């Protein structure tokens, strides 16, 4: 199961979101499984992250409502939110997300579809996913996925979050 949600009026809010991400505290990650120029994944969640409040108001409330309706969920809990900015040469090797139901990716800037997230079936077959800027891609967190090397001069910018749903019985 994969789900693609198109953010309404994304072009109107994109510049403000990018500005908030550029102003956010960040670290970089570089090891043999990832090279990410800017991320707040390891920054304390106690620090005020203005982009999170903005996302909640502008995107996540509507996304959660629609996702619950479409999947017969009583509620959707968003468990963690972080951003990643991939400069040219950056990547994130094959991985999964633990202790959550869904992985979600908001495509803020995607200069070329060749560098979109690759999601694989449990048999390690690459699934075809057609996303663009302003989309939220949601898929089961146990599915392996990766961000291929950014071969573009422009940055790939995503906001990711984990979520779990409570099914109506």
Confidence grade of residue 143 (pLDDT, cut at 50, 70, 90): very high
Query: Distances in Å between the alpha carbon of 25 and those of 22, 43, 110?
Result: 8, 7, 22
Provide CATH code, domain 3-167. 2.60.120.620
Average pLDDT score over the chain: 96
pLDDT of residue 102: 97
DSSP state of 161: E
pLDDT of residue 134: 98
Q: Which residues pair with 114 in a beta bridge?
A: none
Question: What's the pLDDT tens digit per position in 2-33?
Answer: 899 999 999 999 999 999 999 999 999 999 99
pLDDT at 1 over 80: no
**Contact (Cβ atoms closer than 8 angstroms) between residue 108 and residue 11:** no
Q: Tokens for 136?
A: 């939220």
pLDDT of residue 2: 86
| Residues above pLDDT 70, as percent of the chain | 99
- The Cα 6–Cα 108 span in angstroms is 12
Tell me what the mean pLDDT of segment 67-91 comes to: 95
pLDDT at 139 over 80: yes
Of 169 and 60, more confident: 60
Of 169 and 27, more confident: 27
**Contact (Cβ atoms closer than 8 angstroms) between residue 146 and residue 53:** no
**Which among 5, 17, 1, 18 is positioned nearest to 131, based on CA atoms?**
5
């Amino acid at each position: 199961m994969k789900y693609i949600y198109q953010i309404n009026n994304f072009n109107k809010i994109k510049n403000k979101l990018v500005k908030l991400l550029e102003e956010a505290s960040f670290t970089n990650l570089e090891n043999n499984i990832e090279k990410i120029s800017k991320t707040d994944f390891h920054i304390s969640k106690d620090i005020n992250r203005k982009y999170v409040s903005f996302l909640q108001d502008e995107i996540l409330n509507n996304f959660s409502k629609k996702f619950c309706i479409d999947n017969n969920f009583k509620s959707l809990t968003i468990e963690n939110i972080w951003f990643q900015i991939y400069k040219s040469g950056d990547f994130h090797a094959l991985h999964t997300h633990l202790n959550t139901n869904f992985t979600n990716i908001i495509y803020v800037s995607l200069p070329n579809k060749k560098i979109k997230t690759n999601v694989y079936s449990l048999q390690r077959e690459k699934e075809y996913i057609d996303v663009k800027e302003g989309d939220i891609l949601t898929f089961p967190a146990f599915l392996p996925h990766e961000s291929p090397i950014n071969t573009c001069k422009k940055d790939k910018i995503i906001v990711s979050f984990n979520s779990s749903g409570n099914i109506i019985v």
